Structure formats: C-alpha cells, structure tokens
C-alpha cells in the first residue's frame, strides 16, 4: 500500500501547457488511495478543462473564490483545512512570484496564503520555459520560497512545447508521485548513508557470450528507493539491468563481480548501512576470449575453466568497519530450496547481523516477492507482497535495528 493511502490532497493547477501532466498525476494519486480536490486558476482552464479533472478526481472542481457552493462563501478556508497538503502542479513562473509576495487575487493563491502553515504543507512543481526558469528573478523567488518553508520540487530537462530544449519542464507524474510518497514517509534513516547493490553480474566468456542469472534488479532498486524515501543518502551499485534510477539516488553501473566489488569498496567507507541485494555470479571463466568462440562442426565443445569470484558481502562484512558494527551489513540469499537452512548457514558464513532470504526462481523478474529475515534470534517472514511494499518493511526493520 502506498504511503499516500488515506491522504487528502488539494491539487492546484496554474496556467501552463504542463497541465496535461496534472491529469495523469490526479489519476495516479487516486489510484494510490488519495482523495483529490482539484482547484484551478482561470489561466489553467485555457489548458485543461474542469470537466476532465472532475472526471479523474471524482469530485467537483473549484475555479473561483466566489463559488456559491460554499455556504459561507469561504472556499479558500474550507478547502484547505482538511488537506494533508496542497500540491500545485504546474506552478508557473507567475504563480511562484505570486506565492512569494503573498498575492491572493484568485482562489488557488488565496488558499495557499490562508492555509495553516504548521498543518498543511505546500508543495509546488515548477513548469516553464528554460529561459524563464534560469532567469535570476525566478531563481531568487525559488530560493526565498524554500526559505519560507515551501517545498519546491526540481524541474526536468528536455524538449519543451515552445520548441526549445533545457531545464524547466515539470516533472513527470510518476516522478511527482514518488516525491510525494517520499515527503510523507517517516524519515527513520535521516542522516544515514545507505549503499545498495542490485541486479545480476555478467562474466564474459567471449565478446558476445557470458555467464549471468535471471535477477532483474527490481528488489534492490525498490530497497534503494525505500531508503531514500526514509531520508537516507543512497548510493546504488547496479549490475546490467534495464531499470530507471530511483529519484535522488546516486547510481554506478557495473558489469562483472570484480567491477562491483571495486565500486562497493570505494563507496563503503562513507556508508552506515550496506545492503547486498545483487545476485553476484559465484564463478567466472578463467580466461575471456578476445574473439567469438566459433563452433567448427566437429561436435567438440570448447574447454572452459572457472575461478571463484570475490565474495563482496563477506569482504565488506569482515572489513574493519563491518566487523566492528560501524557499518551495518545486510545480505541477501536467493535459493531454490530449503530457504531457512541455507539462509541461516549463509548468515553465519558471511558474518552479517541480518540475512534476507527468498526463493530466486519464484521472484526473479517479478514485481512481487516474499522475504525471510534471519538474524541471531531466529527467522521472521515478510509475507508475499509487492517488492516496493517489502522494501519499505525491510528498511523500517533495518532502521529499528540501528537504534537498538
């Protein structure tokens, strides 16, 4: 279940072509279990109809401070008092300026000004032309809005409706949704640095063939996202996967186990928590051919020999910081059978305080999973759920262990 479930959000639209993304955002919020009250400026109605937003939100849309539906004629008061947040997306350059100066000449800005500051946070997603965004006046406005306690989201970069390319695009709806989920997530890992490995490794046999496994990296990426939502500074070392980076996460891409070890060693000194989610190849070919190994029709197979790859988890766990407990290490075990037995043995062998086990063939490439948490006291199951939901539960568990 999303951390947004049960929230009530006022979604404000100011004028801008990015308003079409607000329709997608509204739909995503409702799907996440949010009740959405849409408020639009007059300028916004030139880009998106109130009918569309009403259909998506399932609630009447407000566009005027003189709306007769409010018995006391105080929509700017009534609509804000029950909100968990006011989210303005898109927030135009003009609207940002209006917020800065306390403008209140229409319902949305009036509502933002009249909201209880200590109870109803204001979150804005800027959207404008690249020159407008980089203009010193806009940057001064943004800096002051942040100083005033308004949560200003980043802008995206890319093609703009005007035909130019650069910064200033409103974030995509899924990116804003992720930012909102992070905003409302308790910051149990605030001030902590978390290092995560994810995905498979690839060990080359020749330029076109190699040894790998079916790990998709989804569990590790979900954990990185959950850790960032919990307030941590997150570094993700990813094997060869095709997944977008979680927002706000520093990512390093690697291929082989040795490359992953090198990247992890370089980042481990700055980490407070190391979560080794990656499915690292146990062996690699002794030699990798410079050219493709071709069959010659004789029926003879090429002779391949293998050497053991370095043990990344054990290396870090048995380092000075890992062994002392200064770096809290969490291992993963992807097994095909006898999960509890193998996970228990692996935890002791690796020397880690927490080992997370799962059945690899049942979860590789899937969006859901079930986890078994094994520590010195025994085992606890996290029942079958989405990988993101499990990641949130795991991060909560890890955060509680850091405070014991």
Same domain, 132 and 207: no
Closest CA relative to residue 245, chosen from 261, 216, 214, 224: 224
Domain limits for position 47: 8-184
Residue whose structure tokens are 């490439």: 365
Count how many domains the chain has.
2
Give the pLDDT confidence score for residue 1 in this predicted structure. 61
Instruction: From the candidates 26, 112, 162, 329, give the one annotated as an active-site residue.
Output: 162
| Gap between the Cα atoms of 403 and 397, Å rounded | 10
Q: Which residue has the higher pLDDT, 124 or 324?
A: 124
Same domain, 223 and 206: yes
Give the pLDDT confidence score for residue 70 in this predicted structure. 78
Residue whose structure tokens are 């770096």: 327
Task: Please say if the pLDDT value at position 358 is more than 80.
Answer: yes
Instruction: Please say whether the beta carbons of 200 and 208 come within 8 A.
Output: no
Same domain, 154 and 219: no
Same domain, 152 and 261: no
pLDDT more than 90, % of the chain: 82
Tens digits of residue pLDDT in 41-58 = 999 999 999 999 999 999
Same domain, 49 and 23: yes
Tell me, yes or no, whether 297 lies in a domain.
no
Tell me, yes or no, whether 20 lies in a domain.
yes
Same domain, 137 and 225: no
Beta strand 378-386 with 368-375 is antiparallel
| Gap between the Cα atoms of 282 and 262, Å rounded | 16
Residue whose structure tokens are 């690697």: 254
Same domain, 208 and 256: yes
Last residue of a domain, one of 128, 152, 184: 184
Closest CA relative to residue 216, chosen from 344, 347, 369, 9: 369
Task: Please say if the pLDDT value at position 63 is more than 80.
Answer: yes
Rg (CA), the chain: 25
> Packing angle between helix 173-184 and helix 19-31, nearest 10 degrees?
50
Give the pLDDT confidence score for residue 144 in this predicted structure. 97
CB atoms within 10 A of CB 373: 19
> Packing angle between helix 50-57 and helix 19-31, nearest 10 degrees?
10
Instruction: Please say whether the beta carbons of 78 and 72 come within 8 A.
Output: yes
At residue 297 the predicted structure's pLDDT band, cuts being 50, 70 and 90, is: confident
Same domain, 309 and 170: no
DSSP state of 286: S
pTM: 0.88
- Across residues 200-225, what is the average pLDDT? 95
Kindly report the CATH number assigned to the domain that includes residue 361. 3.40.50.10300
Tokens of 384: 């079958």
Mean pLDDT for the chain? 93
Tell me, yes or no, whether 78 lies in a domain.
yes
Tens digits of residue pLDDT in 236-281 = 999 999 999 999 999 999 999 999 999 999 999 999 999 999 999 9
Last residue of a domain, one of 121, 154, 184: 184
Tens digits of residue pLDDT in 249-259 = 999 999 999 99
Tokens of 273: 């928590």
Same domain, 98 and 209: no
| Gap between the Cα atoms of 216 and 222, Å rounded | 11
Tell me, yes or no, whether 293 lies in a domain.
no
| Element (DSSP H or E) covering residue 348 | helix 339-350
Q: Does residue 26 carry a catalytic annotation?
A: no
Closest CA relative to residue 9, chosen from 95, 125, 142: 125
Give the pLDDT confidence score for residue 361 in this predicted structure. 79
3-state SS record for 19-83: HHHHHHHHHHHHHCCCEEEEEECCCHHHCCCHHHHHHHHCCCCECCCCCCCCCCCCHHHHHHHCC
Last residue of a domain, one of 154, 184, 214: 184
Tell me, yes or no, whether 294 lies in a domain.
no
Tens digits of residue pLDDT in 306-333 = 999 999 999 999 999 988 889 999 999 9
Same domain, 136 and 270: no
Task: Please say if the pLDDT value at position 295 is more than 90.
Answer: no
CB atoms within 10 A of CB 36: 22
Same domain, 362 and 223: yes
Let me know how long the chain is. 404
Tell me, yes or no, whether 1 lies in a domain.
no
> Packing angle between helix 93-100 and helix 136-147, nearest 10 degrees?
50
By the 10 Å C-beta count (0-12 exposed, 13-18 middle, 19+ buried), 404 is classed as exposed
DSSP per residue over 178-228, as a string?
Answer: HHHHHHHS--TTTT-EEEEEESB--EEEETTEEE-----SHHHHHHHHHHH
Closest CA relative to residue 361, chosen from 337, 389, 330, 387: 337
Tell me, yes or no, whether 103 lies in a domain.
yes
Tell me, yes or no, whether 250 lies in a domain.
yes
Same domain, 314 and 200: yes
At residue 22 the predicted structure's pLDDT band, cuts being 50, 70 and 90, is: very high
Kindly report the CATH number assigned to the domain that includes residue 125. 3.40.50.1950
């Amino acid at each position: 279940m999303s951390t947004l479930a049960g929230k009530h959000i006022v979604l404000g639209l100011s004028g801008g072509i990015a308003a079409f993304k607000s329709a997608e955002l509204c739909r995503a919020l409702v799907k996440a279990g949010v009740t959405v009250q849409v408020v639009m400026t007059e300028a916004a109605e030139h880009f998106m109809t109130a009918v569309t937003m009403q259909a998506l939100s399932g609630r009447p849309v407000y566009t005027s401070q003189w709306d007769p539906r409010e018995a006391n004629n105080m929509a700017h008061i009534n609509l804000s008092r029950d909100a968990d947040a006011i989210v303005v997306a898109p927030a135009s350059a003009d609207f940002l300026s209006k917020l800065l100066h306390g403008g209140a000449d229409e319902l949305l800005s009036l509502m933002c000004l009249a909201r209880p500051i200590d109870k109803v946070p204001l979150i804005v997603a800027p959207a404008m032309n690249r020159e407008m965004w980089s203009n010193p006046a806009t940057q001064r406005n943004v800096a002051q809005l942040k100083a005033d306690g308004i949560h200003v989201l980043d802008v995206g970069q890319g093609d703009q409706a005007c035909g130019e390319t650069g910064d200033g695009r409103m974030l995509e709806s899924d990116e804003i949704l992720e930012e909102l989920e992070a905003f409302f997530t308790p910051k149990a890992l605030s001030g902590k640095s978390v290092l995560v490995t994810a995905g498979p490794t690839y060990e080359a046999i020749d330029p076109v063939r190699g040894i790998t496994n079916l790990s998709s990296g989804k569990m590790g990426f979900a954990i990185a996202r959950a850790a960032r939502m919990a307030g941590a500074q997150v570094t993700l070392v990813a094997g060869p996967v095709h997944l977008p980076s979680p927002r706000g996460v520093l990512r390093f891409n690697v291929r082989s186990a040795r490359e992953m070890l090198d990247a992890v060693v370089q980042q481990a000194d700055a980490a407070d928590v190391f979560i080794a989610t990656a499915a690292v190849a146990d062996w690699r070919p002794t030699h990798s051919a410079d050219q493709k190994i071709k069959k010659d029709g004789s029926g003879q197979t090429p002779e391949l020999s293998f050497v053991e790859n370095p043990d990344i988890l054990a290396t870090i766990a048995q380092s000075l910081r890992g062994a002392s407990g200064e770096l809290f290490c969490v291992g993963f075990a992807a097994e095909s059978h006898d999960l509890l037995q193998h996970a228990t043995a692996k935890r002791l062998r690796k020397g880690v305080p927490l080992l997370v086990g799962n059945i690899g063939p049942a979860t590789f490439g899937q969006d859901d999973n079930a986890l078994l948490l094994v520590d010195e006291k025994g085992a606890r199951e996290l029942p079958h759920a989405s990988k993101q939901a499990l990641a949130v539960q795991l991060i909560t568990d890890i955060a509680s262990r850091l405070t014991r």
